[in-house]
Structure 1
Amino acid sequence: MTDLSWAQVSARRLARHGLSARTSPESPPGAEGVADVVSAMCGAHAQVASAAELSIGLRVPGATRALVRQALWTDRTLVKTRGPRGTVHLLAAADLPMWIGALTAIPPPSWEQSRHLLTPEQTGQVLAAMGDALAEAELTTAELTEEIVARTGPWAGERVMEAFQDLWPRWMAAMATASRAGVICFGPTRGRAITYTSPTRWLPGFAPMAGHAALTDLARRYLFAYGPATPAQFAKWLAAPVRWATSLFDSIDLAEVTVEGAQAWVAANDTDFPTDPPSGLRLLPYFDAYAVGCHPRERLYPGVAAERALARGQAGNFPVLLVDGVVSGVWHQRRSGRAIHVTVEPLQALDPGRRRELEDEVDRVGQILEGRAALTIGTVSVGPHA
């Protein structure tokens, strides 16, 4: 059995996430290149839109937030929907059949409000009404509520769903189910209002993959980006039962390895690892896929990094300074017009070479976000993102 060092694992993950040594593009990046990167990282968390744009831009040499927006809203090579863990993600549109096939095959979480607020028959009615209303439209929540109520009945509009110290219409309890089923995705914002539309506008003729085939494909992609990994780590990434994930791993052709003695798995045809150590410095934004998806946490967030950069053990709530593949600090940005004030709190002293790398990275953050970034090294006083 192959025994790997953490350095080998870290170096491979950095390379596959596009976070290794940066190179200048030979030609301007395009929307297809953006989609390829998002596909390779198994989606970009997009609850914070600017964080998703930065997360992707850091992995595409020469990219800016404008290119990410072009891929999403103009070229439609990205789609904004709910992905792993039911959280808002940007996914490669070409991968949507796999994602929907896989997400509908995962055991649904017991805490979903649709189980308590809607009967199975009502859920089916809401999904059908959504699909009809959104086929050729981009609707706000209020507009979609009106359309669903008109197609189902007043019960769908009853404000009974508790959310953020407010009450939402009953039909919204089916939102997670609708997203998993590929009935609904996000449209472009209208002013400050969120809109929803149909994924078929991104992929005409869209049809989900069969469940087990989709899950097999997704597991292999996950292991490509985040492996070696265990079924428990895959289950955590998806918010799925560990026993279910173990059964899925048992059904796939995988190779067992150890990482400094700890058991893990990779795809059977993907057992090559680099010999060069991980290197480079990166500023990863909120909920960056690398910071959230890589395990074990004690390796990625060693020592004091776990205390400073995790929120009750949860990753992603702080933007992190990544040095040679491990979390080595936190950071925060504050924007005023085109000026972007970046404060970085390293957890150890930076020598002159690292300081230059950090200054270059801050410049890159400014370029991606289409502003002028300035660096301050000091304490980050902002708490974790919810």
Structure 2
Amino acid sequence: MTVGPAEARRLSWAQVRARRLAWHGLAEPLKGAGPADVASAMAGTHAQMMSAAELGIALRMDGATRADVREAVWGEHSLIKTFGPRGTVHLLPARELPMWVGALSALPRPSSPHADGVRMAPEQSEQVIAAVGDALRDAELTIDELTEEVVARTGPWAGDLVMPAFQGMWPRWRQSMHEAGIRGLLCFGAGRGRKVTYTSPRRFLPGFAAEEPEAALRGVVRSYLRAYGPSTPQRFAHWLNAPATWASELFASLEAELERVEVEGVDAPQWLAPDASASAFAVPRPRDVAADVPRGVRLLPYFDVYAYRVGNQPPALLYPGRASERVLRGNFQVLLVDGEVAGLWHQRRSGRRIEVTVEPLAPLSRARRSALDDQVARVGEILEARPTLTIGEVTVGGHA
């Protein structure tokens, strides 16, 4: 039964933060969780920087290190590194890859941002995507090797160096690379020395096939709302880089399966998803943590705060005071205190030592300073190094 507006549960901002911390394994580690379970609880883990993804996942587990996350990706393949929401690199649970591919393949496609002379025609894109799938079916190729295979299967036009990229130019075909990933034809393979390789997820997951779009989209909405709810169709659309109107229609079609809530300080109605009926690890139910007060000091790695903040409203409450000026506009590693951004941090590694610099934006109490010491020690454990802590200004820019 759909919950009517008059019956909507009301949540304070503190309750929303408590729920988010608990669900994301930031109040305490997710009991019994492995790396794939953590990525599932986060609705995918951003992995543009693998070192950040390794730290972010291990922080949410009890006693894990980066080696455990690497084994999940490159050894047992319970995590797949591929292109996920917004076409960005993510770690996705292998068991959920059919859902993700089915849903992402069904999203409305935006217009190409590339100029005439660079942009491929739709039929050319399809040729490239088919060529990528064919080339990687039984192989693990570097980007240069994959370029040769794609050009051989399509034509010289695919290899034209027309796409500005960093300090050089990329071949034309690469504008469809992320599309091959979200269709389940490409994922990352093991590194070959310092070179990245790509392969087919079917080499890791025999019998892999995309889930039917309607069921897959329902699953992704529920996964998103468990990780980031309460939230809105508009926020969901932004997270997926999809049209807001399309997202509103999708939420409307699922309204009977969702719970409407009202959040302190937010005019728009918000939505939550029911919990999974069964789980191999202990994830708190939203109602169980609704009355809790958010507590804890955490050091989140690069990109992790994006995962934590999606759906949180309004940003001024998540980035109070100086945080809105110092942290909000850049991709920094952040100090999280009681579920709010309270500073930033940076680490510099030298052999087996890590120098951690933390810049709090407000004085830390004795208890919070002790909790920060514990968190720095945990970061050192995860990164398999001996950490030292300096309280001072972080002088590097975002994503440094």
Q: How does 1:149-298 map to 2 (within 5 A)?
A: 149-252=151-254, 253-262=257-266, 263-267=269-273, 272=287, 273-288=289-304, 289-296=306-313, 297-298=315-316
Task: Name 1:76's counterpart in structure 2.
Answer: 77
Task: Return the match for 1:21 from 24, 28, 43.
Answer: 28
Per the TM alignment, residue 237 of structure 1 is displaced from its structure 2 partner at its CA by 1.2
Deviations 1:114-148 (A, max 9, x none): 99522222222212221121112110011111111
Per the TM alignment, residue 113 of structure 1 is displaced from its structure 2 partner at its CA by 4.0
Task: Name 1:361's counterpart in structure 2.
Answer: 375
Answer yes or no: is the 8 Å Cα contact 1:76–1:202 preserved in 2.
Answer: yes
Task: Name 1:7's counterpart in structure 2.
Answer: 14
SS of equivalent residue, structure 2 residue 271: strand
Per the TM alignment, residue 223 of structure 1 is displaced from its structure 2 partner at its CA by 0.6
What is the letter of the counterpart of residue 48 of structure 2? Q
| Structure 1: runs of 5 or more not aligned | none
Per the TM alignment, residue 171 of structure 1 is displaced from its structure 2 partner at its CA by 1.3
What is the letter of the counterpart of residue 270 of structure 2? A
Per the TM alignment, residue 199 of structure 1 is displaced from its structure 2 partner at its CA by 0.9
Q: Distance in 2 between matches of 1:110 and 1:373?
A: 47
Answer yes or no: is the 8 Å Cα contact 1:157–1:169 preserved in 2.
Answer: yes
Q: 1:308 to 1:111 in 2, by over 3 A?
A: farther
Q: Distance in 1 between matches of 2:134 and 2:28?
A: 48
Answer yes or no: is the 8 Å Cα contact 1:333–1:340 preserved in 2.
Answer: yes
Deviations 1:218-238 (A, max 9, x none): 011111111110111111111
Per the TM alignment, residue 112 of structure 1 is displaced from its structure 2 partner at its CA by 4.6
Q: Distance in 2 between matches of 1:196 and 1:7?
A: 43
Task: Name 1:305's counterpart in structure 2.
Answer: 323
Q: Distance in 2 between matches of 1:52 and 1:65?
A: 9
Q: Distance in 1 between matches of 2:134 and 2:274?
A: 43
Task: Name 1:38's counterpart in structure 2.
Answer: 39
Count matched residues: 376
Answer yes or no: is the 8 Å Cα contact 1:17–1:290 preserved in 2.
Answer: no
What is the letter of the counterpart of residue 233 of structure 2? P
SS of equivalent residue, structure 2 residue 34: helix
Task: Name 1:328's counterpart in structure 2.
Answer: 342
Q: Distance in 2 between matches of 1:114 and 1:201?
A: 36
Q: 1:114 to 1:43 in 2, by over 3 A?
A: farther
Answer yes or no: is the 8 Å Cα contact 2:11–2:290 preserved in 1.
Answer: no
Per the TM alignment, residue 268 of structure 1 is displaced from its structure 2 partner at its CA by 5.6
Normalised by the length of structure 2, the TM-score is 0.90
Per the TM alignment, residue 165 of structure 1 is displaced from its structure 2 partner at its CA by 3.7
Q: After TM superposition, where is structure 1 displaced by more than 3 Å over at least 4 residues in a row?
A: 111-116, 268-271, 289-292
Per the TM alignment, residue 75 of structure 1 is displaced from its structure 2 partner at its CA by 0.1
Answer yes or no: is the 8 Å Cα contact 2:39–2:92 preserved in 1.
Answer: yes
SS of equivalent residue, structure 1 residue 117: coil
Per the TM alignment, residue 294 of structure 1 is displaced from its structure 2 partner at its CA by 4.3
Q: Distance in 2 between matches of 1:58 and 1:268?
A: 25
Say which structure, 1 or 2, has more relative contact order (CA 8 Å, 6+ apart): 2
RMSD: 1.9
Answer yes or no: is the 8 Å Cα contact 1:184–1:198 preserved in 2.
Answer: yes
Q: 1:385 to 1:362 in 2, by over 3 A?
A: same
Per the TM alignment, residue 202 of structure 1 is displaced from its structure 2 partner at its CA by 2.1
Q: Distance in 2 between matches of 1:322 and 1:257?
A: 25
Answer yes or no: is the 8 Å Cα contact 2:105–2:182 preserved in 1.
Answer: yes
Q: Distance in 2 between matches of 1:72 and 1:234?
A: 27
Q: Distance in 1 between matches of 2:80 and 2:89?
A: 10
Say which is worse superposed, 365-374 or 171-180, in terms of deviation. Answer: 171-180
Answer yes or no: is the 8 Å Cα contact 1:280–1:325 preserved in 2.
Answer: yes
SS of equivalent residue, structure 1 residue 359: helix
Per the TM alignment, residue 22 of structure 1 is displaced from its structure 2 partner at its CA by 4.6
What is the letter of the counterpart of residue 192 of structure 1? R
Answer yes or no: is the 8 Å Cα contact 2:100–2:220 preserved in 1.
Answer: yes
Answer yes or no: is the 8 Å Cα contact 2:140–2:189 preserved in 1.
Answer: yes
Answer yes or no: is the 8 Å Cα contact 1:114–1:174 preserved in 2.
Answer: no
What is the letter of the counterpart of residue 135 of structure 2? A
Deviations 1:137-184 (A, max 9, x none): 110011111111222222221111222242111111211211111111
SS of equivalent residue, structure 2 residue 110: coil
Answer yes or no: is the 8 Å Cα contact 1:139–1:195 preserved in 2.
Answer: yes
Task: Return the match for 2:332 from 314, 318, 335.
Answer: 318
Answer yes or no: is the 8 Å Cα contact 1:187–1:196 preserved in 2.
Answer: yes
1:52 aligns with 2:53: yes
What is the letter of the counterpart of residue 205 of structure 1? G
Per the TM alignment, residue 363 of structure 1 is displaced from its structure 2 partner at its CA by 0.5
Q: Distance in 2 between matches of 1:231 and 1:127?
A: 30
Normalised by the length of structure 1, the TM-score is 0.93
